[in-house]
Amino acid sequence: MEEKLTREEVLHVANLARIKLTEEEIEKYQVELKKLLNDVEKINEVKGYDDEILIACWEDNTKLRKDEEGVMLDPKKALENAPSHIGNYIEVPVVIGESEGA
């Protein structure tokens, strides 16, 4: 039998990405996401793998930037690609109570 994720696992990931899936898509991703995970698992077979390589695969450390102000966008320009705006605020559909950030 083909290896696949459970329906619930796929729906959970879809929910985190805030996307809706059709029945066909759910079945498709049960197989495809599992394949993808299996591919990622292969990284564990690399000898001497150290996950620090994920952080920086070159030797230079971060160069810090001076705390000096640069050129900012004209607010009109900043709003140009927004789907909609009221005054200078970008306007989006309300998503209450889900703020995850800081």
Partner 1 sequence: MTNYIPTIGIEVHVELKTKTKIFSNSKNGYGQMANSLTNVVDLGYPGTLPTLNEEVINLAIRAATVLNCKIRKQMHFDRKNYFYPDNPKNYQITQARTPIGYDGYVEINVGGTPKKIYIEEMHIEEDTCKSAHRGDKTLLDFNRAGVPLIEIVTKPCISSGEEAKAYLEKLRETLFYSDISDCKIEEGSMRADANVSIREKEEEPFRTKVEIKNIGSISNVGLSIEKEIERQKKLYENHETFKEQTRRFDDKLQDTVLMRVKETGNDYRYFPEPDIPFVVITDEMIEHAKEKIPMLPDERRKVYGEKGLLEANANKLIQNRSLSDFFNTLLEENIDFKIASNILLGDVSAYLNKEEKSITDTTLTKERFIELVKTYSDGTISSKNLKEMLDSIMESDKSIKDIMQEQGIENISDDAELKQIIHNIILENQESVTDFKNGHDRALKYLMGQVMKETKGKANPRIANEILLEELK
Q: Does 102 bind partner 1 (CB under 8 A)?
A: yes
Q: Does 49 bind partner 1 (CB under 8 A)?
A: no
d(Cα 27, Cα 35) in Å, to the nearest integer? 13
Nearest-10 Cα torsion for 16, 101, 86, 78: -100
Closest approach of Cβ 68 to partner 1, in Å? 7
| Residue 41 vs 67, nearer CB to partner 1 | 67
d(Cα 85, Cα 79) in Å, to the nearest integer? 7
State the residues that interact with partner 1 by CB under 8 A.
Answer: 16-18, 51, 54-56, 58, 60-62, 64-73, 75, 78-79, 86-102
